Amino acid sequence: MLQIKNLHASIPDEKQKTKYKNILRGVNLQVNPGEVHAIMGPNGSGKSTLANVLAGHEDYQVTEGGAFLDNQNLLTMEPEVRATAGLFLAFQYPVEIPGVNNMYFIRSALNSIRKQRNLPLLDAMDFLTLVKAKMKEVDMDEKFLHRAVNEGFSGGEKKRNEVLQMLMLEPRLAILDETDSGLDVDALQAVAKGVNSLRDSQRSFIVVTHYQRLLNYIIPDVVHVMVHGQIIKSGGKELALEIEERGYAWLEKEAQG
Amino acid sequence: MNWLMDFRTQQLKQFNENGLPTRKNEWWKYTDIQKNAIPDNAGILKESLDVSEWSAVSDILIVFVNGHFSAKLSEMKAFPKEVIACTINDALKTKEDKIKSCLLRERNEKQFPFATLNSAMMTDGLFLEIPKNVKCITPIHLLFIHTDQTDFSTSPHHIILANPNSQLTVIEEHVAKNAQRYFTNTVTEIHAGENARIDYYKIQDDDLTATHVGNVFVEQHKDSCVKTFTFSKNSRLTREDVSVWQKQDGAETSLHGLYVLSHDQQHVDHHVHVDHLASFGTSSMLYKGILDKKSRGVFNGKVHVHPAIKQINAHQENHNLLLSNDAEMNSKPELEIYAEDVKCTHGATIGQLDDEALFYLLSRGIEKNEAHRMLVHAFSEEVYDKIEDETIRLYIQQRMNHYEE
């Protein structure tokens, strides 16, 4: 499903905009249909950069390598085309958009994707029935439909809204960028429940996280450790437990040695 | 009426002495009115046209064609009997005293040269008086159609008198159908008596070759409440002044504006002025602009609190969205405070579409054009949200081409 080959990417230096800072330094990853991959790693290791590069954020510049979704070159696609191709990124910091109604936004997104897939568009009533059912799954109050996108939402509400969008858009590949950070146990379980309800043999997930905690609820098939812009170790779900116990330093040493 | 002839001659003389305002005049620093924008020809009344396109917002429609009142095209059946309405020309015959006191009011001619010109050239307009304690719920929709004529001028002059405890909503809309290079110079005088409430909407949807100058003068008495909304869309050049004098205590003023410029060489200038001459008053300004291509906008908002005035709450905001690198905005919020017990805030911003918000929408599969449209709409939503009446809000959104679903 997803193939990442020797991917290098950089972002403009915050102080000197003309200079670029290398973040990804040769990422290789293969995600097969139906698999859940977790990517763990310390702060600044490049996990979020990888997620944003895959979604097509224009601040990041790919300098080498490639990424393919169902054998299509992701990197030459516009962000909206990647979404209609089946990619979904649940943002670490979902942006607040005052003045854009949440329901209108989700419906526009869904119908835009349905249009690309040659499916009939949903009218307001059908949409409402569907979205209300999905909101129940993530334990989200219906009042959030009538507010502006993420505006004034708490951290947990924003993350639930991300998972709600994922449930509505039914992507082929969903990337969750630290969706667990700052969540209490209830919200964490709601997020996991949403993800697990979508899991099937054709759909894949990349779960980016600092902590093993989320992986108690979303059981990964493969765990990767990313350090300094590279995946330095991959293993089964037990690797996450080992990291929880021992931290990342030993892995960095192992990689250097 | 000798006084009127004398007055108009004097006003014309005055205007000619001062000439057109140049950019040396501080009220006209960013707006250059060319002499050729003011044609000599008057508008001609034409009555064979369809106005149904503009009839959705109210049962009362008062139509002026090329500056002249058209009884034939107007729809007055629902007009409340208590409200006195007639053209200015009729009012000059029957209500001379009231008109005289409005017209002869002194104003700063340097600041309002076009009000002076309007007095001299005044073609027609509406006289509206709402008696004490009468609440007129149906909005009164004034429609100015410019049609089948080129290179002409119109100078409408309206007087709206709201007596104590009365309530009134007026929508003044300017549109074009096959008319070019015309010049409109309007004056609207609003007098809000004690505890009166007036909602006044202006929709400027002229032809792209037109020049539109508008002056709204508002005088407020004790505990009155006046809300104005100014929507500017087309025309080559628009200058809108809203000037408010709070003459008695407890007056409430809120002034709103939205200008959407999407063509090269378009220019819109808003000058908004509130004079707090009495205590316990509030005033707010919320003006927002969306500028694309090589368009240019000007905003000057001024709050003036006079000495010995107490307990004023004044708020002023101007926010602008530039959609192109060639668009230009000059924003100048001003506060002149000569009293101590006053709370005033102001803010002005000029920015571009939020890249992160745009990426968020795109990442959900929304097409670029639609994502742009959603964010631009979101930016203007704050102004539309201030319109309490849903019918009026939807009508204006539709007229401004922001309508969705």
Q: What is the full DSSP assignment across B321-380?
A: EE-STT-EEEEEEEEEE--SSEEEEEEEEEE---HHHHHHHHTTT--HHHHHHHHHHHHH
Q: Provide the angle, in degrees to the nearest 10, between the axes of the packed helices B96-103 and B2-18.
A: 20
Closest by Cα among B108, B123, B91 to B14: B108
Confidence of residue B26 (pLDDT cuts 50, 70, 90): confident
Residues contacting residue B255 through CB under 8 Å, at least 6 positions apart: B227, B228, B230, B242, B244, B272, B274, B283, B284, B285, B286, B287
DSSP secondary structure of A171-218: -SEEEEESTTTT--HHHHHHHHHHHHHH--TT-EEEEEES-SGGGGTS
- Residues A72, A87 contacting (CB under 8 angstroms): no
Closest by Cα among A257, A256, A227, A225 to A243: A225
Of the residues B319, B321, B366, the best mutation for testing chain A's interface (the one with the most A CB atoms within 10 Å of its CB) is B366
Decide if B369 touches A, using CB distance below 8 A. Answer: no
Mind telling me how many Å the CA of A27 is from chain B's nearest CA?
Answer: 22
pLDDT at B89: 87
Q: What is the mean pLDDT of the segment spanning A66-81?
A: 95
DSSP secondary structure of A129-164: HHHHHHHHHTT--GGGGSSEETTT--HHHHHHHHHH
Q: For chain A, give the percent of residues with pLDDT over 90.
A: 78
In chain B, the residue whose alpha carbon lies closest to the alpha carbon of A124 is: B405
pLDDT at B22: 86
pLDDT at A144: 96
User: Is B108 a residue whose pLDDT tops 90?
Assistant: no
Closest by Cα among B320, B312, B302, B323 to B383: B320
Q: What is the mean pLDDT of the segment spanning B298-304?
A: 96
**Chain A interface residues facing chain B, Cβ-Cβ under 8 Å?**
55-58, 78-80, 82-84, 88-89, 91, 94-95, 97-100, 104-106, 108-109, 112-113, 116, 124, 148-149, 165, 169
Q: What is the mean pLDDT of the segment spanning B350-369?
A: 96
> A80 and B366 in contact by Cβ < 8 A?
yes
| Number of domains making up chain A | 1
pLDDT at B404: 37
**Chain A residues close to B360, C-beta within 8 Å:** 91, 94-95, 97, 149
> A56 and B368 in contact by Cβ < 8 A?
no
The Cβ of residue A257 has, within 10 Å, a number of other Cβ atoms equal to 5
Arithmetic mean of pLDDT over chain B: 93
Residue B342: strand pairing partners:
B312
Question: Which member of A84, A98, A100 has the closest CB to residue B365?
Answer: A84
Question: What are B205's two structure tokens?
Answer: 């949807």
What are the boundaries of each domain within chain B? Answer: 2-357, 358-405
Per-residue pLDDT tens for B240-260? 999 999 999 999 999 999 999
Per-residue pLDDT tens for B180-219? 999 999 999 999 999 999 999 999 999 999 999 999 999 9
Strand order in the sheet with A72-73: A20-31, A2-12, A61-69, A72-73
For the entire predicted model, the pTM comes to 0.86
In chain A, the residue whose alpha carbon lies closest to the alpha carbon of B404 is: A104
DSSP secondary structure of B232-292: E---SEEEEEEEEEE-STT-EEEEEEEEEE-STT-EEEEEEEEEE-SSS-EEEEEEEEEE-
User: Is A191 a residue whose pLDDT tops 70?
Assistant: yes
CA distance A159 to A149: 12
In chain B, the residue whose alpha carbon lies closest to the alpha carbon of A105 is: B361
User: Is A24 a residue whose pLDDT tops 50?
Assistant: yes
**Chain A residues close to B363, C-beta within 8 Å:** 55-56, 79-80, 82-83, 88-89, 91
**Region of poorest pLDDT, from B11-20, B100-109, B139-148:** B100-109
> B359 and A58 in contact by Cβ < 8 A?
yes
Closest by Cα among B12, B157, B168 to B99: B157
Closest by Cα among B157, B177, B187, B141 to B47: B177
Which sign, positive or negative, has the C-alpha torsion B353, B359, B360, B365? positive
> A95 and B364 in contact by Cβ < 8 A?
no
How many residues in total does chain B contain?
A: 405
Residue B239: strand pairing partners:
B213, B269
CA distance B87 to B71: 10
Q: What is the mean pLDDT of the segment spanning A238-255?
A: 87
Residues contacting residue B241 through CB under 8 Å, at least 6 positions apart: B112, B214, B215, B216, B270, B271, B272, B273
Closest by Cα among B140, B271, B242, B279 to B199: B140
**Region of poorest pLDDT, from A83-87, B42-46, B293-297:** B42-46
User: Is B402 a residue whose pLDDT tops 60?
Assistant: no
Amino acid identity for residue B362 in this structure? L
Number of A/B CB contacts below 8 angstroms equals: 86
Per-residue pLDDT tens for B93-107? 888 888 888 888 888
pLDDT at B405: 31
ipTM of the complex: 0.96
CA distance B233 to B269: 12
pLDDT at A257: 64
Q: For chain A, give the percent of residues with pLDDT over 70.
A: 99
CA distance B322 to B79: 42
CA A69 to chain centre: 15
Question: Which member of A82, A100, A169 has the closest CB to residue B378?
Answer: A100
Return the DSSP state at B31: -
Decide if B404 touches A, using CB distance below 8 A. Answer: yes
> B362 and A79 in contact by Cβ < 8 A?
yes
> A80 and B359 in contact by Cβ < 8 A?
no
Arithmetic mean of pLDDT over chain A: 93
> A56 and B363 in contact by Cβ < 8 A?
yes
Q: For residue A30, give the CATH number of its domain.
A: 3.40.50.300
**Chain A residues close to B367, C-beta within 8 Å:** 80, 112
CA distance A71 to A40: 26
> A82 and B363 in contact by Cβ < 8 A?
yes
CA distance B201 to B227: 8
> B362 and A56 in contact by Cβ < 8 A?
yes
- Residues B175, B204 contacting (CB under 8 angstroms): no
**HSE, side-chain direction, 13 A CA sphere, residue A150:** 20
> A165 and B359 in contact by Cβ < 8 A?
no
Instruction: Please give the residue range of the domain that contains residue A172.
Output: 2-256
